[in-house]
Chain A
Amino acid sequence: MDASTIDPMRPRLARVRSRRRDGPQVWTLEIDAGPEARSGFSAGQFNMLSALGVGEVPISFSGDPTEPRRIVHTIRAVGAVSTALAHLGVGATLGIRGPFGVGWPLAEAVGQDVVLVAGGLGLAPLRPAVYHLLAQRSRYGQITLLYGTRSPAEILFRRELNAWRRRADLSVEVTVDHALGAWDGHIGVVTALIERAHLAARHTTALVCGPEIMMRFAAEALAAALIPSESIYLSMERNMQCGVGLCGHCQFGGLLLCRDGPVIRYDRLRETLRVREL
């Protein structure tokens, strides 16, 4: 098919190859989109996933971009569609469109230190960036992952995080909002970790993903740590419906986040993030 006959609104049918629970109400699906599937994605991009007959939602890739045949998504069951998707069994059919959007600036960050700041489920869209950075470890300086979540029980990708913490070439700090019992890690918001981290401001690229309010404060903390706005990137979330900039849902000021984002440089967001209900 030539480009003019491909309908970007028509999903490919795919099957769930495997499914694992990665947190309360959070499941990670590996999807088999068949031999015709377009392979490859950039860390930070998203797919539109359809629970057939229920609806379609944007979900970021959470798998390894260096393994382009494996399509992995981490889904929290919150609404009707994400709940239907998260509960699909192995072998079940779903629809998939994508990849869409602009991902993390990993090529531009070559030679720099990289700090990744994740809030809650925001760790999932950052995980492909971690895989990419580790796969090309020698091309980057210091790598720091700062992750904040509500409680120890909600920590995503726990075994993988523990493995990353044991590495000497990656610094991982985890904080929770509140904890009972056996937690001996940080308590507090993720911005406190930014203040404590020793970031070489002039040589650091920051990648931030989480709830909008968390990203706003994280970006302000990174800026306070003297990281230039041009080196801070946020993954913005709206209810993308088409992925190709024609449905109007994901407007954020002059940006169409599905097309211009979801990853946007902070200097293009600083003013608009302060405007409520934009």
Chain B
Amino acid sequence: MMSAQMDAAQVLTGAGLDALLQVLKSRGLRTLGPKIRAGVIVYEEIASVADLPRGWTDEHSPGHYRLRRRDDAALFGYTVGPHSWKQFLHPARQCLWQARRDGAGEQPHFEPEPSDAQHFALIGVRACELRAIAIQDRVLLEADPQYRARRRDTFIVAVNCTVAGATCFCASMNAGPAVSDGFDLALTELTTSSEPLFVLRAGTDIGRAVLSELPRRPASDTEIARAAARVEDTAASMGRQMPSEDLPQRLLRNLEHPRWSEVAERCLACGNCTMVCPTCFCTSVEDSSDLTGTQLTRTRRWDSCFSADLTYLHGGSVRQSTRSRYRQWLTHKLATWPQQFGTSGCVGCGRCITWCPVGIDITVEASRIAAGESG
């Protein structure tokens, strides 16, 4: 078939990957990808393959993250760090509008939109992160024109995971480790020695157009099979799993489970889990003006269900206790998100487990609570 022919897997080397970055830049896209900074893998602007975390991996456990050397030269041989792509698509601070009064008492007028329209190429997007982007699309794409503008021209280079972290559970969320859709190009890394090697497929027309500009060769059957086997091994080595059967109903039947109070004794209500979560979308708006009251600004910033102000109403918070805030976070993710947006709010990336300062594990808490009082 023609389309199968067009989407036949290709092999790309390190030079080919560098060429990919240059092609994307030449199309006016900001190339964003993984980089080591301050002892973690972050997502930032990358100029070339030399910026990628070659030969590094990450070690995860509840409340624990360390970079470690790999014994090969893999460029994508880690799982996920504290950053997610939402910082670009749904930024932590965003100006909603600015207005100006020409004098005191004058009618203000809105100033033109700041023209910060940026177009991104996201390099190294994992299956769980693709799912997270699809989930944020459901929440924001229709209602938020700024999100829509950023999202529309985003080019996505996905990477199949060839290593699972100890806090990963995407397989039990049916979100990974293999990418299935939502990408322009998808890579599977076969690097062993110092020369990077990838099996590459296109998922969209623009992905095919970009691919056609790269130095490449058709992948052999052996290479395709090796790539598939690496992703299958990853699925089999997943560190954790989320119980799946009837989970939303079982959680909602247990809103007064004693476990909520027990977890609240450990939870610091710091909000780390919501900041690192690739799907958490809650925001607050703040108005400000200069001292003369002529320049008015409304800013939207990330907020968290762990903050007291999120539910502030008539002089107090609806959710005063840490117990109620943790319950809101977990039940929203796993039980009420499907009612609101027709999809789970969790992708199994494990960030909330790794980056919780006291190591609270969503898979453990959900299992205990969903099991009911006797569990």
Q: Please determine whether A254 and B339 come into contact, CB atoms closer than 8 angstroms.
A: yes
Residues of A within 8 A of B335 (CB): 254
Q: Please determine whether A249 and B336 come into contact, CB atoms closer than 8 angstroms.
A: no
Q: Please determine whether B107 and A13 come into contact, CB atoms closer than 8 angstroms.
A: yes
Q: Which residue of B lies closest to A7 (CB)?
A: B145
Q: Please determine whether B303 and A238 come into contact, CB atoms closer than 8 angstroms.
A: no
| Proximity bits, A8-26, B CB within 8 Å = 1, else 0 | 1110010000000000000
Whether A275 contacts B256 in the complex (CB less than 8 A), given A53-B296, A238-B318, comes out as yes
B166 within 8 A of A: no
B285 within 8 A of A: yes
Q: Which residue of B lies closest to A275 (CB)?
A: B255
Q: Please determine whether A5 and B145 come into contact, CB atoms closer than 8 angstroms.
A: yes
Q: Please determine whether A248 and B283 come into contact, CB atoms closer than 8 angstroms.
A: yes
Q: Please determine whether A52 and B256 come into contact, CB atoms closer than 8 angstroms.
A: no
Q: Please determine whether A251 and B313 come into contact, CB atoms closer than 8 angstroms.
A: no
Complex Cα distance, B339 from A13, in Å, reads 35
Q: Please determine whether A246 and B281 come into contact, CB atoms closer than 8 angstroms.
A: yes
Complex Cα distance, B110 from A13, in Å, reads 9
Complex Cα distance, B145 from A273, in Å, reads 34
Q: Please determine whether B284 and A246 come into contact, CB atoms closer than 8 angstroms.
A: no
Residues of B within 8 A of A276 (CB): 324
The SS class assigned to the A binding surface is loop
- Smallest distance from the beta carbon of A198 to chain B beta carbons, Å? 34
Q: Please determine whether B97 and A245 come into contact, CB atoms closer than 8 angstroms.
A: no
| Proximity bits, A261-278, B CB within 8 Å = 1, else 0 | 000000000000001111
Q: Please determine whether B336 and A251 come into contact, CB atoms closer than 8 angstroms.
A: yes
Residues of A within 8 A of B289 (CB): 52-53
Complex Cα distance, B146 from A9, in Å, reads 10
Q: Please determine whether B108 and A93 come into contact, CB atoms closer than 8 angstroms.
A: yes
Residues of A within 8 A of B311 (CB): 238-239, 249
| Proximity bits, B90-106, A CB within 8 Å = 1, else 0 | 00000011010000000
Residues of A within 8 A of B300 (CB): 9
Residues of B within 8 A of A154 (CB): none
Residues of B within 8 A of A79 (CB): 314-315
Q: Please determine whether A248 and B310 come into contact, CB atoms closer than 8 angstroms.
A: yes
Residues of A within 8 A of B143 (CB): 8, 242, 244-246
Whether A52 contacts B336 in the complex (CB less than 8 A), given A78-B315, A248-B283, A275-B256, comes out as no
Complex Cα distance, B288 from A5, in Å, reads 25
| Proximity bits, B116-142, A CB within 8 Å = 1, else 0 | 000000000000000000000001100
Q: Please determine whether A277 and B97 come into contact, CB atoms closer than 8 angstroms.
A: no
The SS class assigned to the B binding surface is mixed
- Smallest distance from the beta carbon of A242 to chain B beta carbons, Å? 8
Q: Please determine whether A248 and B303 come into contact, CB atoms closer than 8 angstroms.
A: yes
- Smallest distance from the beta carbon of B149 to chain A beta carbons, Å? 10
A237 within 8 A of B: yes
B293 within 8 A of A: yes
Number of interface residues of A (CB under 8 A): 38
Q: For chains A and B in complex, what number of residue pairs have CB atoms within 8 angstroms?
A: 115
Q: Which residue of A lies closest to B145 (CB)?
A: A7
Residues of B within 8 A of A246 (CB): 139-140, 143-144, 281, 283
Complex Cα distance, B320 from A118, in Å, reads 27
Residues of B within 8 A of A278 (CB): 255, 318-319, 324, 328
Residues of A within 8 A of B296 (CB): 52-53
B268 within 8 A of A: no
Q: Please determine whether A52 and B108 come into contact, CB atoms closer than 8 angstroms.
A: yes
- Smallest distance from the beta carbon of A61 to chain B beta carbons, Å? 20
B305 within 8 A of A: yes
* Chain B 11-47 interface residues, beta-carbon cutoff 8 Å to A: none
Complex Cα distance, B148 from A55, in Å, reads 25
Q: Which of A4, A9, A10, A239 contacts B313 (CB 8 A)?
A: A239
B87 within 8 A of A: no
Complex Cα distance, B313 from A54, in Å, reads 17
Q: Which of B97, B281, B340 contacts A254 (CB 8 A)?
A: B340
Q: Which residue of B lies closest to A11 (CB)?
A: B97
Q: Please determine whether A251 and B332 come into contact, CB atoms closer than 8 angstroms.
A: yes
Q: Please determine whether B287 and A247 come into contact, CB atoms closer than 8 angstroms.
A: no
Q: Please determine whether A277 and B340 come into contact, CB atoms closer than 8 angstroms.
A: no
Q: Please determine whether A241 and B332 come into contact, CB atoms closer than 8 angstroms.
A: no
Complex Cα distance, B241 from A257, in Å, reads 32
A50 within 8 A of B: yes
Residues of B within 8 A of A30 (CB): none
Complex Cα distance, B331 from A50, in Å, reads 32
Complex Cα distance, B310 from A248, in Å, reads 8
A113 within 8 A of B: no
B282 within 8 A of A: yes
Complex Cα distance, B256 from A238, in Å, reads 22
Q: Please determine whether B282 and A239 come into contact, CB atoms closer than 8 angstroms.
A: no
Q: Please determine whether B97 and A9 come into contact, CB atoms closer than 8 angstroms.
A: yes
Whether A54 contacts B336 in the complex (CB less than 8 A), given A4-B145, A8-B143, A93-B107, comes out as no
Q: Which of A7, A245, A277 contacts B324 (CB 8 A)?
A: A277
* Chain A 64-98 interface residues, beta-carbon cutoff 8 Å to B: 78-79, 93
Show 10 residue pairs from A and B whose CB-CB distance is below 8 angstroms, ordered by the A residue: A50-B298, A52-B108, A53-B289, A53-B296, A247-B282, A248-B282, A248-B303, A249-B310, A253-B252, A278-B324
Nearest 3 pairs of A and B residues by beta carbon: A254-B339, A248-B282, A53-B289
Additional 10 contacts, C-beta under 8 A, given A251-B340, A278-B319: A9-B285, A52-B287, A54-B287, A78-B315, A93-B107, A247-B303, A249-B310, A253-B252, A253-B339, A277-B320
